[in-house]
Amino acid sequence: MNIQVIITIIDFLLWLIIAANVVYALFFALASHLPKKTHLTSPISHQPSFLVLIPAYHEDAVIINTIESFLQQDYPKDSYQLCVISDHMAATTNKQLTVLPITLLQPTFESSSKAKALQYAISNIRHHTSYIYDYVVILDADNIVATDFLSRLSRIARPNIAIQCHRTAKNVDNDIAALDGLSEEINNSIFRRGHNRIGMSSALIGSGMCFNYNWFIANVAKLNSAVEDRELEALLMKQGIYIHYAEDIHVLDEKVSNSDNFQRQRLRWMTGQMQTLFQMLPYIPKAIITGNINYIDKTIQQTLTPRSILLVLTPILCIIATLTSYIIHHTSFLFPLKWWLLLLLLFTALYFAIPAKQRNSNLYNKALALPNLAWRMLDNLLHIRPNNKEFIHTTHNK
């Protein structure tokens, strides 16, 4: 086998892998512009009650502001309970929390994780109240919601579905935070709105989530990784429970504003993605036999390449293919044509996935930070440990 054949095979395999990622993104980016579908057909029989859980690990900088903001809800006070799981926060912070009308839990984990905090809350909340709730809401310690957040949730919450609210950036103070927020909006288009628009389940995102209370207490004990949202997705899909994307109910979320935090956050996600893939694969044969499309789709999502890597890697491969065509083939640009077409489709997918109001000249200026972030993502590939379940914390600003 000569060098030309080897290069052609490698080129085609690389193209095939990236093409699968691009086609997936393009399909759901286009689908996100289809008319809405609704699964909320059953009427509400009563005003639902909510248990709101906020795990807080070293979140002294933001937690008080978050709690005081949430307590401005216009929802009846006797129909919701706010519970903070204070994990390794300062005594002064806990003292401030104790005077607020909330339930404060203070676990002492040797090795912390969000899943452990949620499990601890469900195990201990019954010691503080005998009340049985209708739904569990999970927020992050930096999340800010509108005063009608629970009121709007109450109108769409149903026992047979889960809800993912529209998480969006509350800070765009520098290029990294702005790109992080933009990335989340692209994910909202592809993995949430695009899926719902063709009748498939939305992806979860870690906060702004709402679950049936009885379902949650029966399943939370099964969580054992640092990416509990992906595990919850898998459990919901196995049980045929639909995830509705509430795109009109916003949850403001603090975006990472420096490259070190960005790298740590993405390492946690990439490690969790690998762990979830290994957990989900054994159930794939049954999912295929039973026609569980949502479970198959969620498994495919665990194999996708991060977009920031695609955005840098694809143009580089376009240039390499063009140079290779000239040096090896001594012919025209037909050899690299498929790569340039793929790059065009990638940009098309991103164009349709980016909200119209964010398609402006400022976007291109912020993109200058992308190569550095993509390099950090590539560096993360060398540090992924599939068996490592340690929680990787990213700090927040005051």
> What's the start-to-end Cα distance of the chain, in Å?
61
* Among candidate residues 236, 269, 301, the one where a domain is terminated: 301
The reply to whether 346 and 219 lie within a common domain is: no
Domain that holds residue 204: 50-301
Q: What is the pLDDT of residue 392?
A: 47
The reply to whether 167 and 292 lie within a common domain is: yes
The reply to whether 23 and 93 lie within a common domain is: no
Confirm if 88 and 58 have CB atoms less than 8 A apart.
Answer: yes
The reply to whether 23 and 76 lie within a common domain is: no
Q: What is the pLDDT of residue 290?
A: 95
Task: Tell me, yes or no, if the pTM score tops 0.75.
Answer: yes
Q: What is the pLDDT of residue 185?
A: 93
* Among candidate residues 301, 318, 340, the one where a domain is terminated: 301
The reply to whether 9 and 56 lie within a common domain is: no
Q: Tell me whether residue 113 is in a domain.
A: yes
Query: Residue type for 122, please?
Result: I
Confirm if 228 and 206 have CB atoms less than 8 A apart.
Answer: yes
Q: What is the pLDDT of residue 262?
A: 60
DSSP E strand stretches across 198-352: 209-212, 242-253
Gap between the Cα atoms of 144 and 170, Å rounded: 8
CATH number of residue 224's parent domain:
3.90.550.10
Confirm if 250 and 139 have CB atoms less than 8 A apart.
Answer: no
Please state the domain count of the chain. 2
**Three-state secondary structure readout of 247-285:** EEEEEEECCCCCHHHHHHHHHHHHHHHHHHHHHHHHHHH
pLDDT, mean of each 10-residue run, the chain (398 residues): 79 93 97 82 78 94 95 95 94 95 90 90 76 92 96 93 93 71 91 96 95 95 86 95 96 74 64 83 95 96 86 87 75 78 94 85 59 56 52 53
Q: Tell me whether residue 365 is in a domain.
A: no
Q: Tell me which H or E stretch contains 86.
A: strand 80-87
Gap between the Cα atoms of 41 and 362, Å rounded: 41
Gap between the Cα atoms of 203 and 300, Å rounded: 12
The reply to whether 297 and 309 lie within a common domain is: no
